[in-house]
Amino acid sequence: MKKRSTRGAARVNAIWLIVTLVLFFAAMFFGYTANDEMVRAEEQAKQAQIEAKAATDKLQKLQAEHRQLSEIVGYYDPENLQAVSDVALAQADLDQFKAAIGSDADASVTTFQAAWPLAIRQISSRDQSLTTVTQQATERQSEVQAARSSAQTVATDKDQEISRLTKELADLRTKYTEEVNTLEGRIARLTQERGTSDEEAIAARKELADKLVEHSLVVSEYEARMNQLLKDTVPLREPNGIDGMVVGTSAELNMAYINRGAKDRIVRGMVFQVLDGDPTKRTVKGEVEVIDVQDSISEVAIRSLTDQYNAIAKGDVITNPMYDPEGERNAVLAGRFDGKYNRQEVALLLKQIGINVQDDLDRSTMFLIMGNPLYKDPETGETLEEPLKVTDLPIYGLAKSWGVQMISIDQLRHFFRM
C-alpha cells in the first residue's frame, strides 16, 4: 500500500496557526485600544464633572454676589433668594438723587458711585456752614448774656446807691423839718410874747431862711447825684430840632409830662434835653428821661437842671437829635473803633436806641459815627506814615454833602456810657 503524504496537512495546520495568532494579536490590539478609550472616556467624564462643579460654584458665587449687591442697592424682593435689584426703579431714583444734588451732577454722572462723592461734598459743605452759624449763634448768645449780666450788676449797684442816697435824703429832710419846726415855733412864741426885741425875731427868721437855703442846696446835691446814677445816655442836641413840649410838671415828685407817646415811637429810657419855651431864648434848662409811656403822652423824670432857680415848666420844649417819630434811622461807622468802644459794642449801643448800623453810606443814612484816626490804609492795609483822620476819608465828604449828622467818638463816650 502506497503511503499518504502529510505535507499538505502540515501546511494547513501552519496556516491555521498563523491565522489564529494573527486573530489573537488583533483581538489583543482591539481589546487594548477599547480599554484605552474607556479610560480616556472615564477621565473625560471626571473632568466634565469637575468643570460642572466649578461652573455650579461660580454660578452660586455670582448669585450670592448679585444678592449682596441687591441688598446694598435695594429695589429687590427680600423674600426671593434669587431676586435682583429692579434696574428701572434704581435708575428713576438715581435721576431724583442727581436732581437733588443740583448742577454738580451733570450728564457724565450715570451711577450712584459717581453721584455719592458729590452729595457727600455738598453735605460736608452744609455741615461746615451749619457749624459756623451755630458757633456764631453761640458767640452772640454769650455776648448777650455777658451784656445782660453786666447790665444787671450795674443796675444792682445803682439801685443800692440810690437806696442809700434816698435814705440819707429822707434823714436830712426829717432833720431839717424838725429844725424848721423848731424855728417856726420860736418865731411864733416870740411873736406872741412881744416882749422880745424885733432883732431877735429878725435873726430867727434869717436863721430859718439860711437853714431853708442850706436844706435846698443839700437836697439839690443829693438829687443831682441820684439823677447822675440814673443817667444811661445823654442826647446830642440838634439846634432848632424841636421834638415835643412839656405839658405839665410836678415839682414835688420831680416829674413832668410831654406830649409824645407810644404812637410817636417813644420808649422808656429815652432822654430829651429841655429848652426854654421862649423861641427867642431856647436856653437849655435840663434833661428828662421817659419812665412811663401812654398812647399820646409820656411821664418823664427830671434828671438834671441847669439852674435850680429856673425849673422846667409847662410850655418848655424837648429835643433829641437821635429821635425821629416816623422815618428810619440809620448810621454808618467810619474810622477806627477799638478797646471798649469797638465796632460791635458801638453797633449794639446804637441798636438799643433804635438806630440801625449800615455797611455803606446812602441817602437813608442820618448819622456818621466818626471813630479814631486810621493807622493803616483802608484799601491796601499798609501801615501809614501819619494817621489818617476820618475827615480825610471820601465817605466824610460825601456824608457832609448829603447833610448827614456827624457824631465823634468823643461825643459818643460822653453821651453814651456803656
Mean pLDDT, residues 63-85: 68
- Residue 355 CA to residue 322 CA, distance in Å, equals 8
User: Is residue 294 in a domain?
Assistant: yes
Q: How confident is the model at residue 192 (pLDDT cuts 50, 70, 90)?
A: confident
Q: Does 334 lie in the same domain as 315?
A: no
Q: Is the pLDDT of residue 5 over 70?
A: no
Name the β-bridge partners of 271.
289
- The residue out of 284, 319, 354 marking a domain boundary is 319
Q: How confident is the model at residue 255 (pLDDT cuts 50, 70, 90)?
A: very high
Q: Is the pLDDT of residue 378 over 50?
A: yes
Cα–Cα distances in angstroms (integers) from residue 24 to residues 19, 20, 124, 189, 363, in the given order? 8, 6, 90, 182, 129
Q: Does 251 lie in the same domain as 186?
A: no
- The residue out of 180, 195, 230 marking a domain boundary is 230
- Residue 324 CA to residue 260 CA, distance in Å, equals 11
Contact indicator for 310, 353 with CB cutoff of 8 Å: no
- The residue out of 262, 284, 319 marking a domain boundary is 319
Q: How confident is the model at residue 234 (pLDDT cuts 50, 70, 90)?
A: very low
Q: Does 257 lie in the same domain as 185?
A: no
State pLDDT tens for residues 78-93.
776 566 777 787 788 7
Domain count, the chain: 3
Q: What's the mean per-residue pLDDT of the chain?
A: 78
Q: Does 249 lie in the same domain as 223?
A: no
Confidence at residue 9, expressed as pLDDT on a 0 to 100 scale: 63
Q: Is the pLDDT of residue 397 over 70?
A: yes
User: Is residue 411 in a domain?
Assistant: yes
User: Is residue 32 in a domain?
Assistant: no
Q: Does 397 lie in the same domain as 359?
A: yes
User: Is residue 1 in a domain?
Assistant: no
Q: How confident is the model at residue 307 (pLDDT cuts 50, 70, 90)?
A: very high
User: Is residue 79 in a domain?
Assistant: no
Mean pLDDT, residues 388-409: 91
Confidence at residue 416, expressed as pLDDT on a 0 to 100 scale: 61
User: Is residue 71 in a domain?
Assistant: no
| Residue 112 burial (10 A CB sphere; 0-12, 13-18, 19+) | middle
Q: Does 385 lie in the same domain as 356?
A: yes
Amino acid at 211: K
Q: Is the pLDDT of residue 237 over 60?
A: no
Mean pLDDT, residues 154-161: 74
Confidence at residue 370, expressed as pLDDT on a 0 to 100 scale: 93
User: Is residue 95 in a domain?
Assistant: no
Q: Is the pLDDT of residue 236 over 50?
A: no
Cα–Cα distances in angstroms (integers) from residue 292 to residues 75, 262, 268, 298, 392, in the given order? 69, 10, 6, 6, 44
| Boundaries of domain holding 354 | 330-415
Q: What is the pTM of this model?
A: 0.35
Q: Does 314 lie in the same domain as 248?
A: yes
User: Is residue 89 in a domain?
Assistant: no
Tell me the range of 122-136, 230-244, 359-373 where mean pLDDT is highest: 359-373
Q: How confident is the model at residue 328 (pLDDT cuts 50, 70, 90)?
A: low
Q: Does 334 lie in the same domain as 402?
A: yes
The CATH code of the domain that includes 400 is: 3.40.50.10190
Q: Does 314 lie in the same domain as 335?
A: no
Q: How confident is the model at residue 71 (pLDDT cuts 50, 70, 90)?
A: low
Q: Does 222 lie in the same domain as 276?
A: no
Mean pLDDT, residues 211-216: 68
Confidence at residue 256, expressed as pLDDT on a 0 to 100 scale: 95
Confidence at residue 218, expressed as pLDDT on a 0 to 100 scale: 62
The CATH code of the domain that includes 275 is: 2.40.10.410
